[in-house]
Amino acid sequence: MTLALNGEEIGKKLAEAFPAAVVSSDKLNVLVDSKHLQPVAEYLKNTSGLEFDYLTFVTATDYLDYLEIVYRLVSLKNNHSLILKTRCHTRDNPVVPTVVNTWRAAYYQEREIFDLLGIRFEGHPDMRRLLLWEGFQGHPLRRDYL
Amino acid sequence: MPIKTEPFYLNIGPQHPSTHGVFRLRVALDGEVVVGVEPIIGYLHRGIEKLAETRTYTQTIPFTDRLDYLSSMTNNLAYCLAVEKLGGLKVPERAEYIRVIFSEIMRISSHMMAVGFFLNDLGAMMTPVLYMWREREKIMDMFEMVCGQRLLYNYMRIGGVSQNLPDDFMPAVKKFLAEMPKYIDEYDQLLAQNEILLARSKGVGILSKDTAIGIGASGPVLRASGVKWDIRKMDPYSIYERFDFEVPTGDTGDCYDRYWVRMLEIRQSVRILEQAIAQIPEKGAVCADVPQFFRPPRGEAYGYLEGPKGNIGFYIVSDGSIAPYRLHIYPPTLINITALSDMVIGWKVADLIIIFGSIDVVLGEIDR
């Protein structure tokens, strides 16, 4: 069984390493401040005992008050998983740092989020629309699109 | 001093037989050698994630058929697993066995298409495909028997499956399982040591173990690179922990390994099917009692499984209403082509075609 790690314990561990990074954590997931996303990602990948070397999905949800980005991390070595989240509180031109340099799996998925939800990933090597054509107006997966 | 020349740009697709759908590859060439490749996708984008937001949970099942249309059953199942996880539903025993039986039949069918068209890309025009289709036809007949459809089944339901197995299904599947090992031997005799296949695919398009993990590859592509990772073993869903089977892996991660891992997986699927047919309870309900307008509690869930092409998953956010607030589809083949440029640069155009073919993509899933 892939063990879903307790978010609270990971949250405590992260708070020791990066005091300002963790916004909240509960049993299922850890919510981090997007400013600290890149160092947190590197830490989760390279710390022994965690070793999240495999990123499955990255997606985002529009909750109207904020946009939430969800990462599901898996460690193939230890067979455990973690849900990592971050939020942006602005709707016009939201920006989040990219995790492509840590997990290349995010390459197309971040482009897709930019395309469909309009979140720009800072530092992504090729931030263009993926599925829709250039010149398309709006971001269809936002809840206020239609 | 070598003379530096401008690269030549060639568009392969969107309408081209080797792209397996409407897919465009913008290839930079130096003579006949590939120096850069850029996949351009979205020609088949239907906005399934958006459509699901205005439909009930059950109404979304037919859309999942249209993702990877060569493995509709496993797509149905992955979606149903996610909704069941969200709603905390329990599936009847007999339905679990039926789900496993159809998942494995689907895997055999999908791998046969993958191997057949891989050889087609190699230049063995249509002959291997027709051999593979001979058996796939029997699989299609079995699907038609149970749900009336040959390609887009819409068979799985939230909490079980839509209808019970008909009386003539069991004899048909037993006959199929008795014949199948002979046919696989026949394919291996024809293909496995074929000199042309070996010359064209051994050592071509190598995907290293580290790159495969880094890009998040899954399914036969990941296993061919030597990573023993199969969701059925590592995180068993449905009732997979009851079956005895092995996870085949490759050594180098070249095109031949990807082909060979699929052939070995077909044998393992036959093994699982034999056990499932022997164990399935004779009688019992095939679907839990789920209301037509199912309202799962608020929350989010991720249901995923080991599909024929990789690890397909559905991430669902529920706001307690009859429709999902957000549905995200995790497409394994889109992730598997992330490392396409690593695999093809330095090879010739003809190799590009088979490297792309060996990944086994379906555009319905990439574009959603």
> Under a CB-based contact definition with an 8 Å cutoff, are residues B138 and B266 in contact?
no
Give the domain range for residue B39. 8-367
pLDDT at B17 over 80: no
Q: A104 vs chain B: nearest CA distance in angstroms?
A: 5
The pLDDT assigned to B104 comes to: 92
For the cut 80, the answer to whether the pLDDT of residue B2 exceeds it is no
Taking the CA of residue B197 and the nearest CA in chain A, the distance in Å comes to 31
Q: How far is CA B4 from the centre of its chain?
A: 43
Q: How many CB pairs under 8 A join A and B?
A: 73
Closest CA of chain A from B110, distance in Å: 22
Cβ–Cβ gap A105/B214 under 8 Å: yes
Q: What is the pLDDT of residues B90-145, one digit of tens each?
A: 899 899 999 999 999 999 999 998 888 888 888 888 888 888 888 889 899 999 99
Q: What are the tens digits of pLDDT across the range A55-78?
A: 988 999 999 889 999 999 998 888
Check residue B268 and give its pLDDT.
92
pLDDT of residue B272: 92
H-assigned helices in A3-146: 7-17, 37-46, 106-117
- Split at pLDDT 50, 70, 90, the class of B6 is confident
Instruction: Indicate whether B22 belongs to any domain.
Output: yes
Nearest CA in chain A to B314: A57
Q: What does residue B68 show for φ and ψ, rounded to 5 degrees?
A: -95, 95
Residue of A1, A108, A119, A146 to mutate when probing chain B, most B C-beta within 10 A: A108
Question: Is B203:B254 a contact under the CB 8 Å cutoff?
Answer: yes
Q: To the nearest whole number, what is the mean pLDDT of chain B? A: 89
Select from B214, B311, B334 the Cβ nearest to the Cβ of A104: B214
pLDDT tens digits for range B279-290: 888 888 888 888
Nearest residue in B to A4, CA atom: B235
B197: Cα separation from own chain's centroid: 23
CB–CB contact B50 A2 (8 Å): no
**Interface touch B368/A53, C-beta < 8 Å:** no
Residue B20 has what pLDDT?
A: 78
Number of domains in chain B: 1
The answer for B 286-325 residues in CB contact with A (under 8 A) is 302, 304, 311, 313, 315, 317, 325
- When pLDDT is cut at 50, 70 and 90, the band that residue B292 belongs to is confident
- Which two tokens mark B271? 């093994």
Select from A5, A42, A104 the residue whose CB has the most chain B CBs within 10 Å, as the one to mutate to test that interface: A104
Cα diameter, chain B: 79
Say if B64 falls within a structural domain: yes
- Helix or strand run (H / E) with residue B117: helix B93-122
Q: What is the pLDDT of residue B105?
A: 92
Q: What is the mean pLDDT of residues B213-218?
A: 90
**At B158, which CATH number?**
1.10.645.10
Question: Hey, which residues 194-223 in chain B have their CB within 8 Å of chain A?
Answer: 211, 213-216
Confidence band for A47, pLDDT divided at 50, 70 and 90: confident
What mean pLDDT is predicted for residues B79-85? 91
Q: What is the pLDDT of residue A70?
A: 92
Question: Mean pLDDT throughout B318-344?
Answer: 90
Q: What is the ipTM of this complex?
A: 0.90
**Does a structural domain hold residue B1?**
no
Residue of A nearest to B336 (CA): A105
Question: How many angstroms separate the CA of residue B243 from the nearest CA in chain A?
Answer: 15
pLDDT reading at B315 higher than 90: yes
Average pLDDT for B32-45: 89
Residue B2: inside a domain: no
Our CA-based measurement puts residue A107 at a distance from the nearest CA of chain B, in whole angstroms, of 7
* Rounded mean pLDDT, A89-116: 89
Chain B residues whose beta carbon lies within 8 Å of the beta carbon of residue A1: 234-236
Model confidence at B262: pLDDT above 80: yes
Q: In this predicted structure, what is the pLDDT of residue B7?
A: 86
B254 part of a folded domain: yes
Question: With an 8 Å Cβ cutoff, are A53 and B213 in contact?
Answer: yes
pLDDT at A28: 83
Report the SS3 class of residue A24: strand
Is the peptide bond prior to A19 cis by the omega test (within 30 degrees of 0)? no
Give CA separation, A24 vs A9, A21, B162, B273, in Å: 11, 9, 42, 46
The answer, yes or no, to whether residue B314 has pLDDT greater than 90, is: yes
pLDDT at A71: 92
- When scoring A45, A54, A100 by the number of chain B Cβ atoms within 10 A, the one with the most, hence best to mutate, is A54
- Report in angstroms the alpha-carbon separations of B250 from A55, B4, B86, B335, B366: 22, 39, 36, 19, 25
Structure tokens at B165: 């197995």
pLDDT digits (tens, 9 = 90+) for A5-34: 777 777 778 778 788 777 888 888 888 888
Task: Give a yes or no: residue B321 inside a domain.
Answer: yes
The CATH class of A3-122 is: alpha beta
Nearest-CA residue of chain A relative to B48? A141
Q: Is B3 inside any structural domain?
A: no
Name the residue facing A132 among B45, B304, B325 (closest C-beta): B45
